[in-house]
Structure 1
Amino acid sequence: MATSPSSSAQAARQRVARRLRDLRADAGLTGTELAERCGWTHPKTSRLENGRTPPTPDDIRRWCQACGADDQAADIVAQSRDAETAYMEWRRQVRAGLKRLQDSYISLYRGTALFRIYSPTLVPGLLQIEGYARAILSGVAALYEAPDDSDEAAAARMERSKIVHEPGHRFVMVIEESVLYHQLGDADTMAAQLGYLLTVGALPSVSLGVIPHAVQRTVWPQELFHVYDDQLVSVELMSARVRVTQPSEVALYVRAFEQLRGMAVYGAEARALIVKAIEALR
């Protein structure tokens, strides 16, 4: 049975607590000794390292300083933040309509210089045409039993995607070849979407790679994820969007992305795969 977002979030909180407990043990401190160094009571130490109370950033910094592990504080602070906010359930997000969800990304997009996007299933949102986006968003509304404002949401996605043509941003995108064959909308819509990939993939700000079916893989297909600069990773699951900010985990996604990017083909080879998919629609 799949783990629910809420139970996964609780497990993430427990990992933070266990990490704090391990730091204390490695430093050879009792709970009372750590409490004295941090300037709080022993019961607070117990609550923090058993996951009953989420630590504040200041709590974590004091704990790390007391254990002689100041260099781990930033990573644990980010891990704790992720534990509290990482799981953002789709059903809750789309309750107010899909257009609002599209608009919620605008400030993040404006503030990002380098986008790294990997998709095993869909054309990335920033490269979608309106008809293709409408087909996806209509399906999302039906799946999550949300209000179907897919027309307005698709138009909002198109407005948001204009950032691809604006200076100050770079887009490195990698898709699996199977993306070219997952038909969303009718055949004409799909042909238009694939044709648009040929156009937008030629933009100076866009690097579009396609991982061929027959490539010898060094990394298996992953879930769809976006890396915004080196600060945030957004991972899309069936039930939730997961936000990752812990530096070590962000670095893991960046490393995986670079391996996936290394398996992709670009330029004329990528265009040939796209043209082949267009011809398969006839």
Structure 2
Amino acid sequence: MPPIRNNGVSSLNQARLALGKRLRELRRRADLSGRALAESLSWPPSKVSKLENGRQSPTEDDLHAWTRATGGEAETEGLLAALHTLTVQNIEWQRQLRGGLGSHQTELAALDATTRLFRAFESTFVPGLLQTAEYARARFTQTVAVFDVRGDVDDAVRARIQRQDVLYRQDKRFHFVLTEAALRYRLCPPEVMLGQLDRLLSLASLPNVKFGIVGFPTAYQVAPTHGFWLLDDTRVMVETFSAELNLAGPRELELYRSIFDAMAAAASYGRTAREIIKRVIDDLSGELLPEGE
């Protein structure tokens, strides 16, 4: 297994920090203090510090001004390319979901069609391709409430269920790893979760699906900070509260492959995974039984 070099800092923040480091190097090469550079650009001194330390993303105008002031015009094109990558990584949910939840599911279906190998790690909820209609409805209803987007929940549920046809295509391969916590979080009514757990038992038997669960007693090599999807070896998708990150840099891909391999190695499969699911079903069913039974 490749070494794991990072266990929590988001790739987006890393990219912003890397860009800030390059700006700092230009300033120091020009033998300018942060205050002197800020004064030459009529900026508040705090702006230079924020840009160099990754607490603020620069604009294109900022980069042009910085390279002119430091005599680093030759670096402008490379810095602009880095800024463009940073911008593309962070797609605001409000903009992405503007056309409605159903429309976003249709866009994801187009991506599914071109992907051959799907690797997904989820620490909080069941992946969309494995969700029942009722569980998906609960998830989409929460999305509408949080982001105040167009509430086309019915369209979104239908589109998500249609996307699941890809699971039955023999030219596709899937490797899902979930934490036991994702099976126990109360993100929907108990009866909905029972149906979802039963669905997982059936999907885990598909010949092109590898399904693992990291049980509670497992000692993690890396904290399950957030879920992510690896699509082939070309893209990582990470959902945060404010954005969907689409990461494609070689270092990012290598990092997330390493993390996925660690999670996959820690997971239980086959009969042991089914036993974990059945234990959760038994616990949840016991809560639903009338008192005295």
Q: TM-score, normalised by structure 1?
A: 0.76
Matched residue type, 1:244: L
> How large is the RMSD of aligned CA atoms in angstroms?
3.2
| Structure 1 residues 121 and 13: alpha-carbon distance in aligned structure 2, compared to 1, 3 A threshold | closer
- 1:116 is the counterpart of 2:119: yes
**Cα contact 1:20–1:49 (8 A) shared by 2:** no
Query: Runs ≥4 in structure 1, deviation > 6 angstroms?
Result: 8-11, 48-54
Query: For 1:100, which of 98, 103, 107 is the aligned residue?
Result: 103
Deviation track 1:160-183 (CA, whole Å, cap 9, x = no partner) reads 111011121111111000111123
**Cα contact 2:67–2:75 (8 A) shared by 1:** no
* Greater alpha carbon shift after TM alignment, 191-200 vs 181-190: 181-190
**Cα contact 2:128–2:160 (8 A) shared by 1:** yes
Query: For 1:230, which of 205, 215, 233 is the aligned residue?
Result: 233
How far off is 1:15 after superposition? 2.7
Counterpart in the other structure of 1:35: none
Distance in 2, matches of 1:171 and 1:263, equals: 17
Counterpart in the other structure of 1:29: none
**Equivalent residues in 2 for 1:234-249, closer than 5 Å:** 234-249=237-252
Counterpart in the other structure of 2:262: 259
**Cα contact 1:127–1:161 (8 A) shared by 2:** yes
Distance in 2, matches of 1:50 and 1:83, equals: 24
SS at match of 2:244: strand
Matched residue type, 1:249: E
Distance in 2, matches of 1:202 and 1:95, equals: 37
Distance in 2, matches of 1:184 and 1:51, equals: 52
Query: For 2:189, which of 186, 191, 195 is the aligned residue?
Result: 186
| Structure 1 residues 272 and 121: alpha-carbon distance in aligned structure 2, compared to 1, 3 A threshold | same
Distance in 2, matches of 1:140 and 1:115, equals: 24
How far off is 1:186 after superposition? 2.3
How far off is 1:224 after superposition? 1.1
**Cα contact 2:91–2:245 (8 A) shared by 1:** yes
Deviation track 1:1-37 (CA, whole Å, cap 9, x = no partner) reads xxxxxxx9798457347448869x99xxxxxxxxxxx
Unaligned runs of 5+ in 2: 1-10, 30-63, 286-293
| Structure 1 residues 100 and 218: alpha-carbon distance in aligned structure 2, compared to 1, 3 A threshold | same
Unaligned runs of 5+ in 1: 1-7, 27-42, 64-75
Matched residue type, 1:130: A
| Structure 1 residues 177 and 16: alpha-carbon distance in aligned structure 2, compared to 1, 3 A threshold | same
- 1:46 is the counterpart of 2:49: no
- 1:135 is the counterpart of 2:153: no
| Structure 1 residues 273 and 138: alpha-carbon distance in aligned structure 2, compared to 1, 3 A threshold | same
| Structure 1 residues 143 and 17: alpha-carbon distance in aligned structure 2, compared to 1, 3 A threshold | closer
Counterpart in the other structure of 2:173: 170
SS at match of 1:104: helix
Distance in 2, matches of 1:108 and 1:48, equals: 43
Distance in 2, matches of 1:80 and 1:254, equals: 24
Query: For 2:277, which of 259, 271, 274 is the aligned residue?
Result: 274
Distance in 2, matches of 1:87 and 1:47, equals: 27
Distance in 2, matches of 1:50 and 1:12, equals: 23
- 1:218 is the counterpart of 2:233: no
Distance in 2, matches of 1:215 and 1:182, equals: 18
User: How many equivalent residue pairs?
Assistant: 241
Counterpart in the other structure of 2:47: none
How far off is 1:148 after superposition? 1.4
Identical-residue share of aligned pairs (%): 32
**Cα contact 1:119–1:174 (8 A) shared by 2:** yes
**Cα contact 1:17–1:49 (8 A) shared by 2:** no
Deviation track 1:214-260 (CA, whole Å, cap 9, x = no partner) reads 11111111211001111100111111111111111111000011001
Counterpart in the other structure of 1:157: 160
Distance in 1, matches of 2:200 and 2:179, equals: 14
| Structure 1 residues 54 and 264: alpha-carbon distance in aligned structure 2, compared to 1, 3 A threshold | farther
**Cα contact 1:198–1:274 (8 A) shared by 2:** yes
Counterpart in the other structure of 1:206: 209
Matched residue type, 1:239: S
